[in-house]
Amino acid sequence: MTSLYFFLKITHSIFYDTSFLLVLDKQLVTVWQPDKHPELQRSMEFISFFGSWKWMAFLSAIILIFTRFNAALRPYAFLITLITIGSIAATYLLKIYFNRPRPEVLHEAAIRSSYPSGHALVSLAIYGMIVYFCWVFSKKHWLNTLITIFLLAFVLSIGFSRIYLKQHFLSDVLSGFTGGLFWLAFSLGIGKAQMKIFR
């Protein structure tokens, strides 16, 4: 519920209030000049790809296929589907509803609206799901901790890449993270309830 509160707080600040966050949005979007650093731009585009809905859907499909051959993971097939489809659908619907324009200084044309960042929302939900599975199925706490830290840093780097590439404002990314965290927590609750009912 905390993540939902912060999502609503950010949303109110952006659309219904003149806040420090709006000022920061406009300042950050002009700080970096990707075209002047082509190698760094390519690196950011590479990182950004791993937060795209197409990659996340592909990754989830691979995990779903794996559940067919793993009895321990099989009961989680519904949860994987819920997190994946739900996060992608939520992003699409929220973008339609808010219809916030992308940053005006885009170095590359973007089609869909800006708020919230789909890369941030979907990547946090799905990579967060992978972290959850690590802690559920692996007893190697040191390895789980390393994976958690790595994926957290990776998700944060995806969010940063969207700002650096001028595809999103900071507030878009923050709302995506909070929205993704809420959907992950909500889906885990639904998934656990579903497994108890059909156990």
Using alpha carbons only, give the angle 97, 5, 145 rounded to the nearest 5 degrees: 110
The whole-number pLDDT of residue 142 equals: 92
Domains contained in the chain, CATH given: 2-197 (1.20.144)
Cβ proximity of 132 and 188 under 8 Å: yes
Which token pair is 55? 């990659």
The whole-number pLDDT of residue 195 equals: 65
For 24-68, write each residue's pLDDT tens digit: 777 777 776 666 677 888 899 999 999 998 898 899 999 888 888
How far is residue 181 from each of residues 70, 126, 196, measured CA to CA in Å?
27, 10, 23
> What's the whole-model pTM score?
0.86
